Amino acid sequence: MKLSKTNFLICLDCAKNAWLKIHKPEVYKKEGLSSFELNIVDTGNQIDELARGLFPKGVLVESRDDTELTKKLMEEKTPVIYQPVFATEKFLAVSDIFVFNSDTNVYDLYEVKSSTVSEENGGRKTEDYLIDMTFQKNVLDDLGIKVGTLNLIRLNKKYVRLGEINLKELFFIEDLTNQVNEKLEDVRNKMEGAFELLSSEAEPKGHCDCILKGKNSHCTTAWYSNSDLPEYSVHSISRINKKKLAELVDSRIFNIHDVPDDFPLSDNQKRQVETAKSGKEYIDRDGVSEFLQKIKYPISFLDYETYPSALPRYDRYSPYQQIPFQFSLHVIDSHESELEHYDFIYTGNDRPDEFFAEALKKHLPENGTVVVWNQKFEQGINKQLGERLSEYKDFMQGVNNRVVDLMVPFFGKTTMYDHPEFKGSASIKYVLPVLVPHLSYKNLHIKEGGTASDTWNRIVSDEYSEDEKNMKVQALKDYCHLDTLAMVEIWKVLKNV
């Protein structure tokens, strides 16, 4: 076995997950990749190929194990090599771009990532990239291959497209040579440890590393390695930090029902545990009543669907800026009024902004409350639309001024409504089936936002036949329609309490 860079990084995150990927791929692949995850893979490949334009006319090493072609190209001092492959007895590394530097007479390494430059300049992702690049440097050192600078290429979040894409402005290049060299020994030790563990035929015993992580951070195979965990485990305690989770796990407390009454938790966490133990819903009726007083007729229940294109697809967009392509709107004019529904979806090839804003202004009442689920998202889209469309800036600001977040009772600073079946989540996908059992996402063709986003991207990329396209458009409408209808029904439940 040769330990690849990819498997090494997986091992650092969760060692048993990496072992299963290599030795029991049927377990690793059982869950499959979601549309959201597949889109991440496609995006990474797209950005990787686009970045080659910074160093054009290179030669691509197509096979992931063609070390001989790599060696030949380097001996010939080929100016630019894409995807060169390097292997030792233990390790395998595929670099993104090698560029020959005639001044130093060695190659410079460029690693391409599809993320944006961290505004914090040194967060976890930057650390991950350093480990990635240090792995490559150690392999090159083992082979006696000298390299010059070690560079990281990422998307520049501040870049705004105007006309044709400017690659030099789109990408940001950092020289991380010194930082990589500082980590060589540490990463070397981790590489040796990972190789020893992953080359063993004996499956690691017990839980995987995710036993010490919150549920949302569990690996691909946590269902297999941690199969003895109860359905509602302490890992589902909302926003629980690593230290507190470790205390519970070390005390062999896995079931949320077994958390001691005096265990230090935040007020909302305590409320969640108490609700789980009692098996009964918790309702702060005064809090709910006070919240509902903020909602005034006419009431507009509004939901957006968007696509976060890594490569700015239209003018005045930046990398990963959300493209709003669809909305659903349910309106109740007064206490006696019937529910009205409006929707919008744009599937043309040009920028949807103007059409989206025009349709929203046409159908949205000029006054009253705009109810959303997770206001940070919709308000952010409105703000960006106003910045790109000066004629709609005041309108969008006016909409934002009327927004009330229906998620607040379930996930605000102080929880007003909790239920054992929410399991610590304030996602509408959890809240709806508990409070409104006759409504469900299960029977929809599109069941969550990641699939909706990916579906729209494939529609506008002409990946479907006309019949398929029509079916997908209807599926998108059905999904977004349920999002706002769900809010209507949840609001009614809150009124009734």
For residue range 230-280, list pLDDT tens digits in order. 999 999 999 999 999 999 999 999 999 999 999 999 999 999 999 999 999
Instruction: Answer with the residue of higher pLDDT: 124 or 309.
Output: 309
- Region 135-157: mean pLDDT is 97
Looking at the structure, do residues 189 and 249 belong to the same domain, yes or no? no
Q: What pLDDT was estimated at residue 126?
A: 75
Residues 208 and 480: their CA atoms lie apart, in Å, by 37
Looking at the structure, do residues 417 and 318 belong to the same domain, yes or no? yes
% of the chain exceeding 70 in pLDDT? 98
Which pLDDT band holds residue 478 (cuts at 50, 70, 90)?
very high
CB atoms within 10 A of CB 335: 6
- The phi, psi pair for 154, rounded to 5°, reads -135, 170
Residues 378 and 197: their CA atoms lie apart, in Å, by 46
Q: What pLDDT was estimated at residue 127?
A: 76
Looking at the structure, do residues 80 and 172 belong to the same domain, yes or no? yes
DSSP string of 182-224, one letter each residue: HHHHHHHHHHHHHHHHHH-SSPPPS--GGGGS-GGG--TTHHH
Residues 25 and 51: their CA atoms lie apart, in Å, by 32
Residues 136 and 91: their CA atoms lie apart, in Å, by 9
Q: Is residue 206 assigned to a domain?
A: no
Q: Is residue 223 assigned to a domain?
A: no
Q: Is residue 207 assigned to a domain?
A: no
- Calculate the dihedral angle through the C-alpha atoms of 136, 61, 156, 177, rounding to the nearest 10 degrees: 30
Which pLDDT band holds residue 123 (cuts at 50, 70, 90)?
very low
pTM: 0.92
Range of the domain at 144: 3-199
Look at residues 209, 243, 276 and tell me which one is the last residue of a structural domain.
276
Q: What pLDDT was estimated at residue 118?
A: 60
Looking at the structure, do residues 192 and 332 belong to the same domain, yes or no? no
Residues 2 and 242: their CA atoms lie apart, in Å, by 33
Residue with tokens 């469309």: 389
Looking at the structure, do residues 104 and 83 belong to the same domain, yes or no? yes
Number of domains the chain is built from: 3
Residues 219 and 225: their CA atoms lie apart, in Å, by 10
What would the pLDDT profile of 4-49 be if each residue is shown by its tens digit? Answer: 999 999 999 999 999 999 999 999 999 888 777 888 888 999 999 9
What are the helix (H) ranges across 56-176? 67-75, 124-142, 167-170
- The phi, psi pair for 64, rounded to 5°, reads -75, 0
Looking at the structure, do residues 365 and 461 belong to the same domain, yes or no? yes
- The phi, psi pair for 411, rounded to 5°, reads -155, 35
Of 28-37, 375-384, 413-422, minimum mean pLDDT range: 28-37
Looking at the structure, do residues 109 and 62 belong to the same domain, yes or no? yes
Helix (H) or strand (E) holding 109: strand 106-116
Cβ atoms of residues 176 and 150 within 8 Å: yes
Q: Which two tokens stand for residue 77?
A: 């001092």
Look at residues 183, 199, 215 and tell me which one is the last residue of a structural domain.
199
End-to-end CA distance of the chain: 61
Q: Is residue 89 assigned to a domain?
A: yes
- The chain-wide mean pLDDT, for the chain, equals 95
Looking at the structure, do residues 131 and 176 belong to the same domain, yes or no? yes
CATH at 87: 3.90.320
Residue with tokens 């501040």: 158
Residues 288 and 349: their CA atoms lie apart, in Å, by 44
Q: What pLDDT was estimated at residue 98?
A: 98
Rounded to 5, what percent of the chain is helix, strand, coil?
50, 15, 35
Q: What pLDDT was estimated at residue 413?
A: 81
Q: Using alpha carbons, select from 218, 237, 238, 217 the residue that is nearest to residue 226.
A: 218
Q: What pLDDT was estimated at residue 40?
A: 85
Instruction: Answer with the residue of higher pLDDT: 484 or 38.
Output: 484
Looking at the structure, do residues 485 and 339 belong to the same domain, yes or no? yes
CATH at 319: 3.30.420
Q: Is residue 216 assigned to a domain?
A: no
Q: Is residue 367 assigned to a domain?
A: yes
Looking at the structure, do residues 180 and 234 belong to the same domain, yes or no? no
Q: What pLDDT was estimated at residue 125?
A: 67
Q: What pLDDT was estimated at residue 246?
A: 98
What would the pLDDT profile of 304-322 be if each residue is shown by its tens digit? Answer: 999 999 999 999 999 999 9
Residues 458 and 467: their CA atoms lie apart, in Å, by 14
Looking at the structure, do residues 310 and 420 belong to the same domain, yes or no? yes
AA letter at 266: S
Looking at the structure, do residues 266 and 309 belong to the same domain, yes or no? no
Q: What pLDDT was estimated at residue 122?
A: 39
What would the pLDDT profile of 77-121 be if each residue is shown by its tens digit? Answer: 999 999 999 999 999 999 999 999 999 999 999 999 999 886 544
CB atoms within 10 A of CB 103: 6
Look at residues 238, 255, 276 and tell me which one is the last residue of a structural domain.
276
Give Cα 259 distance to the centre of its chain.
31
CB under 8 Å, gap of 24 or more: what pairs does 215-224 form?
219/13, 219/14, 219/17, 220/17, 220/21, 220/28, 220/31, 221/16, 221/17, 221/20, 221/21, 221/27, 221/28, 221/31, 222/14, 222/17, 223/31, 224/20, 224/27, 224/30
Q: Is residue 175 assigned to a domain?
A: yes
Q: Is residue 218 assigned to a domain?
A: no
Coil, strand, or helix at residue 471? helix
